[in-house]
Structure 1
Amino acid sequence: MSKHQEHFQIETKAIHGGSIKDEQFGSLATPLYQTSTFTFENAQQGAKRFAGEEQGYIYSRLGNPTTTQLEQTVAALEGTESAAATATGMGAVSAALLANLSAGDHLISSKAVYGCSFALMSHMLTKFGIEVSFVDMTEPENITRAIQPNTKVIFLETPINPNLVVLDLAAIGKIANQHQLISIVDNTFLTPYLQKPAQFGFDLIIHSATKYLNGHGDVVAGIICGSEEMITEIKMTSLKDIGATMSPHDAWLIIRGLKTLPIRMDRHCQNAQQIAEYLESHPSIKQVYYPGLKSHPGHKFIGNQMKAAGGVIAFELDGSLEDGAFFIDQMALLSIAVSLGDAESLIQHPASMTHSPYTPEEREAAGISDTLIRISVGLEHVNDITADLNQAFEKLIKHQGMPKQVA
Structure 2
Amino acid sequence: MSDQKPVSHEATLALHAGAGQRHIGEPASAPPMMATSFFTHPDAVGFSANDLNEAVPHFYTRWSNPTLELLETRLAALEGGEAALSFASGMAAICALILNRLGSGDHLVLSNVCYAGVAELAHDILPKHGIAATPVDTSNPEAVAAAMRPNTKLVHIETPANPILRLSDVAAVAEIARSGGAELSVDATIATPLGMKPLALGADYVVHSLTKYICGHGDALGGAVIGRQDRIAALRKGSLIHLGGSLSPFAAWLILRGMETLAPRMVMHEANARRVEAFLADHPKVRSVFWPGSSRHPQHNLAARQMRNFSGLLAFSAKADGGALARRLAERLQVVSYAVSLGKTKSLLFYIPTDDILRSSFHLEGEEACSYRDWAGDGVFRFSVGLEDQDDIIADLDQALG
Scaled by the length of structure 2, the TM-score of the pair is 0.91
CA distance in 1, matches of 2:40, 2:298: 56
**Aligned CA-pair RMSD:** 2.2
Equivalent runs, 1:186-197 vs 2, <5 Å: 186-197=187-198
How far the C-alpha of 1:370 sits from its partner, in A, is 3.2
Residues 66 and 20 from structure 1, CA distance in 2 versus in 1: closer, same or farther, beyond 3 angstroms? farther
User: Which range moves more in the overlay, 21-30 or 81-90?
Assistant: 21-30
Residues 5 and 96 from structure 1, CA distance in 2 versus in 1: closer, same or farther, beyond 3 angstroms? farther
Q: 1:376 aligns with which of 381, 384, 387?
A: 384
Equivalent runs, 1:121-270 vs 2, <5 Å: 121-270=122-271
CA distance in 1, matches of 2:223, 2:358: 19
User: Which range moves more in the overlay, 351-360 or 302-311?
Assistant: 351-360
Name the aligned partner's letter for residue 78 of structure 1: E
CA distance in 1, matches of 2:347, 2:359: 22
Name the counterpart of 1:348.
Answer: 350
Q: 1:332 aligns with which of 331, 334, 344?
A: 334
Say if 2:266 and 2:309, in contact at 8 Å, map to a contact too.
no
Say if 1:89 and 1:209, in contact at 8 Å, map to a contact too.
yes
Say if 2:44 and 2:57, in contact at 8 Å, map to a contact too.
no
Say if 1:158 and 1:186, in contact at 8 Å, map to a contact too.
yes
Name the counterpart of 2:15.
Answer: 15
How far the C-alpha of 1:87 sits from its partner, in A, is 0.2
Unaligned stretches of 5+ residues in structure 1: 395-407
Name the counterpart of 1:358.
Answer: 361
Name the aligned partner's letter for residue 393 of structure 2: I
CA distance in 1, matches of 2:46, 2:260: 38
How far the C-alpha of 1:369 sits from its partner, in A, is 4.2
Residues 12 and 129 from structure 1, CA distance in 2 versus in 1: closer, same or farther, beyond 3 angstroms? same
How far the C-alpha of 1:118 sits from its partner, in A, is 0.4
Say if 1:187 and 1:195, in contact at 8 Å, map to a contact too.
yes
User: Which range moves more in the overlay, 101-110 or 176-185?
Assistant: 176-185
CA distance in 2, matches of 1:201, 1:117: 22
CA distance in 2, matches of 1:44, 1:147: 48
How far the C-alpha of 1:355 sits from its partner, in A, is 7.8
Q: Percent identity among equivalent residues?
A: 36
How far the C-alpha of 1:27 sits from its partner, in A, is 2.5
Scaled by the length of structure 1, the TM-score of the pair is 0.90
Say if 2:86 and 2:222, in contact at 8 Å, map to a contact too.
yes
How far the C-alpha of 1:169 sits from its partner, in A, is 1.1
CA distance in 2, matches of 1:136, 1:5: 44
Name the aligned partner's letter for residue 241 of structure 1: H
Alignment: residue pair count? 390
CA distance in 1, matches of 2:77, 2:275: 31
Q: SS of the residue aligned with 2:353?
A: coil
Name the counterpart of 2:35.
Answer: 34
CA distance in 1, matches of 2:94, 2:190: 15
Residues 240 and 291 from structure 1, CA distance in 2 versus in 1: closer, same or farther, beyond 3 angstroms? same
Name the counterpart of 2:44.
Answer: 45
User: Which range moves more in the overlay, 12-21 or 304-313?
Assistant: 12-21
Say if 1:22 and 1:31, in contact at 8 Å, map to a contact too.
no
Name the aligned partner's letter for residue 12 of structure 1: T
Name the counterpart of 1:403.
Answer: none
CA distance in 1, matches of 2:4, 2:150: 44
Q: SS of the residue aligned with 1:83?
A: strand
CA distance in 2, matches of 1:321, 1:303: 30
Q: SS of the residue aligned with 1:219?
A: coil
Say whether residues 1:95 and 2:96 are aligned partners: yes
How far the C-alpha of 1:128 sits from its partner, in A, is 1.2
Residues 248 and 220 from structure 1, CA distance in 2 versus in 1: closer, same or farther, beyond 3 angstroms? same
CA distance in 2, matches of 1:354, 1:30: 41
Residues 56 and 312 from structure 1, CA distance in 2 versus in 1: closer, same or farther, beyond 3 angstroms? same
CA distance in 2, matches of 1:5, 1:201: 28
CA distance in 2, matches of 1:74, 1:347: 28
How far the C-alpha of 1:25 sits from its partner, in A, is 4.8
Say if 1:115 and 1:355, in contact at 8 Å, map to a contact too.
no
User: Which range moves more in the overlay, 297-306 or 179-188?
Assistant: 297-306
